[in-house]
Amino acid sequence: MEDVITCPACNSTNAYFDGVMYICPDCMYEWSPEGAEEESNVPKDNNGTPLNEGDDVTLIKDLKVKGSSVTLKRGTKVKGIKFTDNPEEVDCRVEGMAIVLKTCFLKKG
Ligand SMILES: [Zn+2]
């Protein structure tokens, strides 16, 4: 059984793969299968917004810093995040401490 390809632009199921790109004959939208795969490895904030290296984020939850008595308050601004090998975690510095934050507790901006 063949997979049905759904056009992300118009939801048509007439889209087909031409060997390089997916093409939708209904709205002429073309997209690459590699792009979609890459995107899943990009860290995303709690809303699903892709994060970029160097972005500023805000905590959406009080977080206790492991191995210390420090609790970072919800609403704390974190500047200049750095990516790690894990798309669910980012490196950053808060109040002079180098810590790793889960992206699910972050909001971009
Ligand atoms: Zn389409």
> For residue range 23-54, what is the model confidence (pLDDT) as tens digits?
999 999 999 876 555 556 789 999 999 999 99
- pLDDT band with cut points at 50, 70 and 90 for residue 80: very high
Is the pLDDT confidence value at 88 over 60? Answer: yes
Fold of 1-40: N-terminal domain of TfIIb (2.20.25)
Distance 26 CA to ligand 1 centre (A): 5
Q: What is the pLDDT of residue 6?
A: 92
Task: Tell me the domain boundaries of the chain.
Answer: 1-40, 57-108
Distance 21 CA to ligand 1 centre (A): 13
Short-list 49, 46, 30, 43, CA closest to 81 = 43
Distance 29 CA to ligand 1 centre (A): 5
- Which residues, chain by chain, have CB under 5 Å from ion ligand 1? 7, 9-10, 12, 24, 26-27, 29
Higher pLDDT, 59 or 42: 59
Distance 96 CA to ligand 1 centre (A): 49
Is the pLDDT confidence value at 77 over 90? Answer: yes
- pLDDT band with cut points at 50, 70 and 90 for residue 108: very high
Interval 4-29: pLDDT, tens? 899 999 999 999 999 889 999 999 99
Determine the Cα–Cα distance for residues 64 and 73; give it in Å rounded to an integer: 9
Grouping H, G, I as helix, E, B as strand and the rest as coil, residue 49 is coil
Distance 28 CA to ligand 1 centre (A): 6
Radius of gyration, CA atoms only, the chain: 19
Task: Tell me which CATH code domain 57-108 carries.
Answer: 2.30.30.40
Structure tokens at 11: 């939801």
Distance 27 CA to ligand 1 centre (A): 4
- Whole-prediction pTM value? 0.62
Q: How many of the other CB atoms lie within 10 Å of CB of 57?
A: 25
Is the pLDDT confidence value at 78 over 90? Answer: yes
DSSP state of 105: G
